[in-house]
C-alpha cells in the first residue's frame, strides 16, 4: 500500500528539491574544500545536478513506498558515476549529507522516513559492483544474431544491420523473436554501454533510430494478421521519450490480431483520453521508463477511471520501474502489468475474458 504520508513526502521533496540540492552541495564543498580546487566551478555544477537527480529518484521511490526503486537507482548511479570519475566514496558522502539535510529541513516524522530510504541505499552501496558484465548471454536464443546486429550498429553499418535482420527473417526466424531476442537485448546493451561511458550519446541515438527504421521494414510481415475484434491504444506517458518498448508491445498485439493504435512517446493525457474514446478501446497500454514518470502514470489512470465514457477500459502498464518493483502496477491503480511483450498479450486477453465473465 502507498501511504498518504509517503505521497506527501514525495510532493515536499519535489517542491523543495532545488533548495535541498543546493544545501547538500554547499555542505559537501564546505566539508571537502579540495573538491573546488580539483574540479572547479564546472564540478560544482555537476555535483548540484547529481544531487537534484538523487533527490528526484528519492522522491519517487518514497512516494511509491518502494525501497527497491531507490536501491536500484543507487546501483545504477554507482556504475554511471564511477565511469565518469566520481568514486563510490564521494557518492556515499553525498548521500550521508543528504540524509543530514533532510533530517534538519523536513518535519521529523517525514525526515525519518526519507532517512530510512537513504540508509537502505547506503547500506547496499559497498557490495554493489562499479562495473557490469555485458548483458548478452551466449546461450540466449539468437544470441549470435543479436551480437552481430549490435556490432554492425556500433560501427555505423545501418544497411548491413538491416540486411542481417531481413535475411534472418527470410530464413525463417520469427519477427517476434527478432524483437525479443535481438532488438530488446541490443537496446539494453547499448544503454549499459552508455552508462559505462563506453559509447557516446550520438551512438545511442544512432542505434535507436536505426533499430526503429529496421522495425519499420518488418511491417509488411506484421500487418497481415486477421483481426479478432479487440482494440488497444498504446502509448508512452507524457514526458517519456522512450518508445521502443511500447512499440514492440503494440506490434505483438497487432500480430495477435488486435486492432492497435500506437501513439508513441510523450503523449499528453487529453490526447490519450480522446484516442481511447474515438477508438472505443478495450485496453489502454501505458509505458513508463523513467521512475520520475510514475506519478504521471498514476494521474493518467485516475483520469481514465474518472471518465464515465471509459469505464470499461482495462489498463495495462509496463516498463523499467514496473520491472524493478513488482507491486508498482497495483500502486498506480492499473489492472495488470507484464514484464515484456511475450506476456503482455496473454495478460490483456485474460483481462478481457475476466470482463466478459463479469458481464
Q: How far is the CB of 286 from ligand B12 (least distance, A)?
A: 6
Exposure on the CB side of residue 24, measured as CA atoms within 13 A:
31
Give the end-to-end CA distance of the chain in Å, rounded to a whole number.
29
Q: Under 8 Å CB-to-CB from 68, ≥6 apart: which residues?
A: 324, 325
* C-alpha grid cell, residue 341: 511483450
DSSP count for the chain of H helices, then E strands:
18, 5
Shortest reach from residue 298's CB to ligand B12, in Å:
14
Nearest distance, CB of residue 30 and ligand B12, angstroms? 29
Q: How far is the CB of 202 from ligand B12 (least distance, A)?
A: 10
* Minimum CB distance to ligand B12 smaller for 110 or for 214: 214
Nearest residue (CB) to ligand B12, 262 versus 320: 320
Collapsing DSSP to helix, strand or coil, 259 comes out as strand
- CA geometry: angle at 72 spanning 84 and 198, to 5°? 30
Specify the residue, 8 or 169, whose C-beta has the smaller distance to ligand B12. 169
Torsion angle of alpha carbons 323, 284, 10, 322, nearest 10°? 0
Distance CA 116, CA 119 (A): 5
Rounded to an integer, what distance in angstroms lies between the CA atom of residue 256 and that of residue 233? Answer: 15
Q: In the complex with ligand B12, which residue's Cβ is closer, 77 or 97?
A: 77
Measured from the CB of residue 113, what is the shortest distance to ligand B12 in angstroms?
22
Conformation bin of residue 134: beta by default, left when phi > 0, alpha when psi is -120 to 50 = beta
**Residue with smaller CB distance to ligand B12, 55 or 246:** 246
Least distance in angstroms from the C-beta of 289 to ligand B12: 5
At closest approach, how far in Å is the CB of 155 from ligand B12? 17
**Helix 341-358 and helix 244-255, axial crossing angle in degrees, nearest 10:** 60
CA–CA separation, 264 and 188 (whole Å):
19
Pick the closer one to ligand B12 by CB: 23 or 80: 80
Distances (CA, A) of 209 to 228, 242, 256: 31, 12, 26
**Closest approach of ligand B12 to the CB of residue 319, in Å:** 4
Comparison of 242 and 314: residue with beta carbon closer to ligand B12: 242
Closest approach of ligand B12 to the CB of residue 208, in Å: 4
Please check whether residue 29 is in contact with residue 36, taking contact to mean a CB–CB distance below 8 angstroms. Answer: yes
Nearer to ligand B12, 24 or 348 (CB): 348
Q: CA 349 to CA 216: how far, in whole Å?
A: 26
CA angle 305, 311, 314 (to 5 degrees): 80
The whole-angstrom separation of Cα 299 and Cα 253 is 25
Closest CA to 11 of 107, 80, 82: 107
Q: Of 23 and 265, which CB lies nearer to ligand B12 in the complex structure?
A: 265
Q: Which residues bind ligand B12 (CB under 6 A)?
A: 73, 76, 184, 187-188, 190-192, 194-195, 201, 204-205, 208, 239-246, 248-249, 265, 285-287, 289-291, 316-320, 323, 338, 340-341, 344
Amino acid at each position: 500500500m502507498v501511504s498518504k504520508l509517503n505521497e506527501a513526502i514525495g510532493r515536499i521533496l519535489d517542491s523543495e528539491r532545488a533548495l535541498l540540492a543546493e544545501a547538500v552541495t554547499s555542505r559537501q564543498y564546505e566539508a571537502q574544500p579540495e573538491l573546488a580546487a580539483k574540479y572547479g566551478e564546472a564540478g560544482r555544477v555537476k555535483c548540484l545536478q547529481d544531487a537534484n537527480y538523487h533527490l528526484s529518484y528519492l522522491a519517487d521511490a518514497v512516494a511509491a513506498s518502494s525501497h527497491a526503486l531507490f536501491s536500484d537507482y543507487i546501483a545504477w548511479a554507482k556504475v554511471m558515476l564511477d565511469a565518469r570519475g566520481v568514486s563510490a566514496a564521494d557518492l556515499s558522502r553525498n548521500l550521508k549529507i543528504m540524509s543530514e539535510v533532510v533530517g534538519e529541513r523536513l518535519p521529523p516524522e517525514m525526515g525519518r522516513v526519507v532517512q530510512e530510504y537513504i540508509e537502505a541505499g547506503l547500506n547496499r552501496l559497498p557490495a554493489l559492483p562499479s562495473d557490469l558484465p555485458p548483458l548478452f548471454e551466449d546461450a540466449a536464443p539468437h544470441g549470435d544474431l543479436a551480437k552481430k546486429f549490435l556490432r554492425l550498429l556500433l560501427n555505423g553499418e545501418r544497411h548491413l544491420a538491416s540486411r542481417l535482420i531481413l535475411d534472418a527473417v527470410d530464413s525463417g526466424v520469427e519477427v517476434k523473436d527478432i524483437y525479443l531476442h535481438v532488438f530488446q537485448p541490443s537496446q539494453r546493451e547499448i544503454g549499459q554501454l552508455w552508462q559505462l561511458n563506453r559509447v557516446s550519446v550520438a551512438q545511442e541515438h544512432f542505434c535507436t533510430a536505426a533499430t526503429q527504421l529496421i522495425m519499420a521494414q518488418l511491417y509488411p510481415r506484421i500487418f497481415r494478421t486477421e483481426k479478432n475484434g479487440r482494440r488497444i491504444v498504446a502509448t508512452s506517458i507524457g514526458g517519456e521519450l522512450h518508445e521502443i518498448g511500447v512499440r514492440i508491445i503494440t506490434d505483438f498485439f497487432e500480430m495477435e490480431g488486435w486492432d492497435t493504435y500506437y501513439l508513441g512517446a510523450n503523449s499528453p493525457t487529453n490526447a490519450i483520453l480522446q484516442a481511447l474514446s474515438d477508438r472505443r478501446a478495450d485496453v489502454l497500454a501505458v509505458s513508463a521508463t523513467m521512475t520520475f514518470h510514475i506519478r504521471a502514470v498514476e494521474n493518467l489512470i485516475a483520469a481514465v477511471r474518472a471518465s464515465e465514457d471509459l469505464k470499461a477500459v482495462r489498463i495495462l502498464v509496463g516498463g523499467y520501474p514496473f520491472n524493478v518493483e513488482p507491486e508498482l502496477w497495483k500502486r498506480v491503480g492499473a489492472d495488470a502489468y507484464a514484464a515484456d511483450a511475450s506476456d503482455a498479450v496473454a495478460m490483456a486477453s485474460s483481462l478481457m475474458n475476466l470482463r466478459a465473465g463479469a458481464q
